[in-house]
Homo-oligomer: A and B are copies of this chain.
Amino acid sequence: MDHTLSAIKRIENRAKQIPGVISLAQGIPSLPSHHLIRNEVIDAMLNNKVDKYSPPAGLLEMRTFISQKLAEKNMEYSHEHEIIVTAGGIEALSATMLALLKHGDEVIILTPAYPNYERIILMAGGKPIMVPLSEKGGWILDLSLLKKRISRRTKAIILCSPNNPTGSVLSEKQLRTIGILAQRHKFLVICDDIYEHFYFGDNAPFNLCTQNQFKKQIIRIVSFSKDFSLSGWRIGFIHADNEHISKILSIHDNLINCAPVISQYAGLAALKNEKVILNEYMEIYRKRRKIMGDCLESLSEYVQFTWPNGAYYFFPKIIGATDVEGLCFDILEKAKVAVVPGDDFGAGGKGHIRLCFGKSEEEIIEGMKRLEQYFLYNKFTEV
């Protein structure tokens, strides 16, 4: 496999060497962890609760609370056999792939997609099968194309809706069809719900995981990194049918023994104060989205884009650009703004750049001003 870092990280590494860069590249929320979370963490630490390993599946208290919260969403999972607290979403996904893939098993990825999906599938000996979404009409899944890519070796499909990097959301109809195809062809639907709480319509998007008839097919991954601003804490969880969870637990035990216990208390506090924290934070992201989107609209001569329905990214197409990676490094050097080339998210992302509005208002305003200057006066000339 390719041992180099993704373009996101290469851009970030270069950005760190240039003083005064504003990074709209890596998806790291600027907000600090909430004081309600910090208070509970300090309390747990001073009461000697965080120093020893928890059970591999996580603190009983946390799994019990997760199970209750899931039930409120019509997801019925036993805290004893169907939930594992993990060191973030990425560990959950790695443990899943290492536990369930046999050499040569195929995993379908809808692109553009988070680049680590491909890397993790390869690490686990699997074969990534790319199905590009159709940009026209807002990153729609062409079901006939998906069907063509399903084979006897198809073990799973990974869904991320709301999506990184496009900000798009799959429709209820599309998701149900995927569920039915998964049942028919006996493959798993791995739902990476990391952007679950980032949606900008009035109602939460349809979530296939709430449909119990698909339970045997579904593995759902939840992370606290983005919505609760806990990326550094490495905390999340995974839930699925007992048959899958028992295999994943064994690998999780090999990989990390248990999720960091202090972070488990952070995650528990996040869940307990979910409403308060998310109301506060999502209000902030709505504002940031508006600022960034308005700036992009004023650049309509240079970029084409749709407003994201979810997640916290814009994914504009750069009009006329073909070497977008070169463009991104040029923007970094000349305008001191870090953005990510769309190619990094698979063939479907060609010609695009990704901008994250996880950063503060001030940074977004300054970053977008610099981008505007770049496009107006210092347009990238391809070699």
Contact between chains at B247 and A3 (CB < 8 Å) = yes
Asked, given contacts A53-B232, A90-B255, A234-B256, whether A5 binds B250 with beta carbons under 8 Å apart, the answer is yes
Asked, given contacts A46-B38, A119-B254, A230-B51, whether A87 binds B90 with beta carbons under 8 Å apart, the answer is no
Knowing that A233-B261, A255-B256 are A-B contacts, what are 8 other residue pairs whose CB atoms are under 8 Å apart, sorted by A's residue number? Answer: A1-B250, A9-B56, A38-B46, A87-B87, A90-B255, A232-B258, A232-B261, A260-B263
Tell me the nearest residue of chain B to A31, going by C-beta. B51
Contact between chains at B234 and A87 (CB < 8 Å) = yes
B residues within 8 A CB of A29? 52
Contact between chains at B254 and A90 (CB < 8 Å) = yes
A2, A88, A119 interface centre (most CB from chain B within 10 Å): A88
B residues within 8 A CB of A203? none
**A231-B103 Cα distance, complex, nearest whole Å:** 33
**Is A54's CB within 8 Å of the partner chain B?**
yes
Asked, given contacts A50-B233, A52-B231, A231-B52, whether A256 binds B88 with beta carbons under 8 Å apart, the answer is yes
Q: Which of A249-302 contact B (CB under 8 A)?
A: 250-251, 253-263
Q: From residue A292, how far is it (CB to closest CB) to chain B in Å?
A: 20
The digit string for A59-91, where 1 denotes a CB below 8 A from any CB of B, is 000000000000000000000000000011011
A4, A54, A103, A261 interface centre (most CB from chain B within 10 Å): A261
Partner of A262, one of B1, B119, B233: B233
Partner of A258, one of B5, B125, B234: B234
Q: Which of A325-341 contact B (CB under 8 A)?
A: none
Partner of A257, one of B31, B90, B230, B263: B90
Contact between chains at A41 and B52 (CB < 8 Å) = no
**Is A303's CB within 8 Å of the partner chain B?**
no
The digit string for A27-55, where 1 denotes a CB below 8 A from any CB of B, is 01101110000100110011010111110
The digit string for A94-137, where 1 denotes a CB below 8 A from any CB of B, is 10001100010000000000001001100101000000000000
Q: From residue A242, how far is it (CB to closest CB) to chain B in Å?
A: 12
**Is A211's CB within 8 Å of the partner chain B?**
no
Asked, given contacts A52-B232, A56-B5, whether A257 binds B38 with beta carbons under 8 Å apart, the answer is no
Q: From residue A362, how far is it (CB to closest CB) to chain B in Å?
A: 16
A99, A233, A258 interface centre (most CB from chain B within 10 Å): A233
Contact between chains at A257 and B53 (CB < 8 Å) = no
**Is A229's CB within 8 Å of the partner chain B?**
yes
B residues within 8 A CB of A256? 87-88, 90-91, 94, 234, 255-256
A246, A255, A256 interface centre (most CB from chain B within 10 Å): A255
**A230-B48 Cα distance, complex, nearest whole Å:** 11
**A42-B103 Cα distance, complex, nearest whole Å:** 45
Contact between chains at A232 and B260 (CB < 8 Å) = yes
Contact between chains at B28 and A48 (CB < 8 Å) = no
Partner of A5, one of B230, B253, B260, B262: B253
Partner of A234, one of B31, B99, B232, B257: B257
Asked, given contacts A3-B246, A98-B123, A262-B263, whether A50 binds B232 with beta carbons under 8 Å apart, the answer is yes
A28, A32, A260, A261 interface centre (most CB from chain B within 10 Å): A260
